Amino acid sequence: MPTMKPAAFQPITHALIRRALKWAVLCTLVFGGLQAWLAYQNVQRDFQSAVRGIATTHVPLLSLAIWDIEPRAIQGQIDLLLESSQIAYASVKVNTGQQFAGGKAGVLNGGTTLRFQIPPPNKQVGAIGTLELVLDRSVLYRQLIHSVLLVLLESIVLTALLLGTGVLILRRNLAQPMRQLAEFVTSLKADNLSPRLQLERPAGHSYDEIDMVAEGFQTLQASIQRHISTLDAQVQERTQQLETALASLKTLSGSDQLTGCYNRSLFSERFPSEMNRAQRYAHPLSVIFCDVDHFKVVNDTHGHLTGDRVLAMVGHCLRQELRAEVDWVVRYGGEEFLVVLPETALPAALEAAERLRLGVRRGVRLQLDDRTQLQISASFGVAEREAADDMASLVQRADQWLYAAKRGGRNQVQPQR
């Protein structure tokens, strides 16, 4: 199965800032456009109000000049009107047919024209002339551009300040704690979950979702530690149970179920170590070969169940007469037993064999169904390890002495002391 390529790391604050920036730009364009339109309306209204104010100031003076028929004064008022940057062209039409004008005649077709009636000085009803003012649109446009740019600049600066403040807040209150959480989780090892999570938060901050995440992680960490401790205890308990079971199994696999003695396979596994130890430290080692006398007759006459009882009682007697945790006895085959005596020279081994013979003779007695008593004896052959001996030769010499005991009449120990 192909491995997936990990996604590139992208800080959450960068993603949030980009999203906030998109919405901020959109809001800036919307609200900036609205403010620009309002600024346009205000500039245009103020522009025309200023022109009307100028016209209102000059209309009475023009009224006097027309009433007194003073052409120079009329032209002088027109020149004064043209000094205002908002007015590109001005003209006075007198009812008598005279006309006075001044300014840029090229703006007449595209400019905005404002007309004002010139009343007579004595406030009589009617008009003695008309004042026409053509507004300078370039001045209006410059004012509009200036106002709109100022509004947009204010919006941009305000947006930048808000975004900058938001970035600082996000980094301090979100990015830094989240990075601490990520670094802490990354630093944890499977064999060491004990480090505690300590977040560096601003002083006086309120309890928030990051604190909830940190507490949740601490709770999870504690639960995992408790679970691991429980698992360790369970593993230790299971290990002890397994070791006990293995020891029991090993004991069972190395024991003869009928007699309770060790079996032949364990002898083959353990006896070489006894030989090596005796040779390495030059310590004595003896073995005793034991054979139940007339065992075939017991089986043929009284049955195999009685024979099994005899073997079990012989094995028990042999184990009872040996040194605990030092000597050991093996059911070598059929009715034959082999006793291993570490740290034991031949004289002591012969004494031990005689003790075993007497123990079997006194201890192995069976009450049969016909109320007769069956008494069992055994023959013993003893040999001590010599320098040239290996395992087979030592056992063979003990076996030879066993057959010597059987040929000599049974129920005895050979060689004689």
Q: Which residues are catalytic?
A: 335
Closest CA to 95 of 62, 57, 128, 117: 128
Q: How far apart are CA 86 and CA 23, in angstroms?
A: 40
CB atoms within 10 A of CB 109: 7
Closest CA to 80 of 94, 97, 62: 62
Question: Is the distance from CB of 379 to CB of 354 less than 8 angstroms?
Answer: no
Question: Is the distance from CB of 173 to CB of 199 less than 8 angstroms?
Answer: no
CB atoms within 10 A of CB 412: 19
Q: How far apart are CA 357 and CA 355, in angstroms?
A: 5
Beta-carbon contacts of residue 349 (< 8 Å; ≥ 6 apart): 286, 287, 288, 341, 382, 384
Question: Is the distance from CB of 380 to CB of 374 less than 8 angstroms?
Answer: no
For residue 97 the two structure tokens come to 């047919």
| E strand intervals along 205-308 | 285-292
Beta-carbon contacts of residue 142 (< 8 Å; ≥ 6 apart): none
What 3-state DSSP class applies to 328?
A: strand
For residue 202 the two structure tokens come to 């601003």
The DSSP call for residue 192 is: B
Closest CA to 272 of 402, 384, 400, 394: 394
Give the end-to-end CA distance of the chain in Å, rounded to a whole number.
81
Sign of CA dihedral 55, 59, 65, 71: positive
Q: What angle do CA 247, 250, 252 make, to 5 degrees?
A: 110
Question: Is the distance from CB of 36 to CB of 151 less than 8 angstroms?
Answer: yes
What 3-state DSSP class applies to 104?
A: coil
